[in-house]
Structure 1
Amino acid sequence: MGFEWDDHIALSRRDEGSFDADLEQGWTVGGGVNGGYLLSVIGNAISQTLPGKPDPVSVSAHYLSATTPGPATVSTRVLREGGRFATVAADLAQGAGTRITALATYADLSALPDEVSTTAVEPDIAPRDQCVSNEFAPAELRKVAPLMDRFDLLFDPTCIGWAVGEPSRRGLLQGWFRLKDGRDPDPIELLMVCDALPPVSMDFGVMGWAPTLELTVHVRAVPAPGWVKVSHRTRNIAGGMFEEDCEVWDSAGRLVAQSRQLAMWPRA
């Protein structure tokens, strides 16, 4: 059985370094296509450019302008390939303009040393049967964010005050995540997961689209099958912008992805 996700990030190769994509309507939010989904489309193109090094290790993308559903092209350029790692530049373009430019390091994560030493603490999220499904998200949010129909998101009960007019103002959103059709996560999907939750600005009672300016994702390991825990937080709002730090933990209790995003504070 095929999975929706694989169809939505599918590419047609033009030549050695460029691909055609058809960006799906179902991944829109606010005024454009979700940045994490777009990063996975770019990530898939880079993966296909590098036989033997299929996995993102670090991807840093700058979002130059909003992307819309429909045809797009992804161009890749290998800057260095040797040993365990490769470095690739990539651009996603639509019409006559470049929408996203990215620089990435890729490897075969399954071939890297698997020892883990961390002081990170796994998020304290309630069991799934005690969490609140995104199916109960406010109608106005679902209208501007149809991407929420693409996945199951179970919010920790301590993080849903924003949905009932009682935001905690802690700058924290977290919950359980999986794709709607139950497809198990992989490294390229993690690029999207790091941008899948609503913006943490909602925890301050500010609803609306928060356009991404820059997003960097570090993928630390191939995730185990099953649900993942996702935690987003911010500590600083300045100049009409805020940072959003994300952690993704897999079903084996490992920190498999981390990201930092700089986004625009939503307009009132």
Structure 2
Amino acid sequence: MPRFAANLSMMFNEWAFLDRFKAAADAGFAAVEFLFPYDHPAEQVGLALAGGHLQQALFNLPPGDFAKGERGIASLAGREEEFRAGVEIALAYAHETGVKRLHMMAGLADPDDATAQATYRASLAHAADALAPHGIELLLEPINGKDMPGYFLNDFDRAAAFVRESGRPNVRLQFDMYHCELIHGDVAGRLKALFPLVGHVQIASAQGRHEPDDQGPDYPRLFALLDELGYDGFVGCEYRPRAGTLEGLGWFAPYRRHDPRPDPLDMA
């Protein structure tokens, strides 16, 4: 049975960010992910995570100026020092949260531009090598052009090629089924083909990026396929609730955590 991580950047927005951890735990999630933690001190994020007895499934390396439209800087020539500094910042948050997977956003650049390709490869190599001693995987995620026009990494086969050519065992593919459906279709077939490279999975409906219900792709079938393939990681719920977060969790009822949470003193 898949294990699910609530994405706190999209879900539980009815609460302030640091309060979303407890809300997710109370709703039955065993893990969380989010886009970026960097507006909050690393220690506070770690305490919120521990307070909910949650695991941190994933977050992103610093993306540049997200508020001004930047979507990562890994492929942007001239931003190399900023990128490397961002890796160190992310490692400080990784230390506080225990996260073992970090996503590297590629940025807005022409995928066929030779300079962007070379910059991206160099960023990948630096980040992967910096994360490896800490037992952390670097994830590459293709993102569809409708949601993020001009994104450098917009194709699953291209992303898989970067993973393979890196030659680094801690470089893996972030397989967002929503993006796969919009870019290629045939999510099940592509998941089977690329599964040996997959380090993390995310979900949302194809229509509106909402709850994973009857708006496609066929999530009951895909969840069963994950079990069949032996996927043992978390499935990130990176979707926007149609209404309230709690009101939209009917799909999650069979998967919610019911086990008693350990006493924090027992975990020390």
TM-score computed with the length of structure 1 as normaliser: 0.25
Indicate the structure with greater helix content.
2
**Bigger relative contact order, structure 1 or 2, given CA contacts below 8 A and separation 6+?**
2
Indicate the structure with greater strand content.
1
TM-score computed with the length of structure 2 as normaliser: 0.25
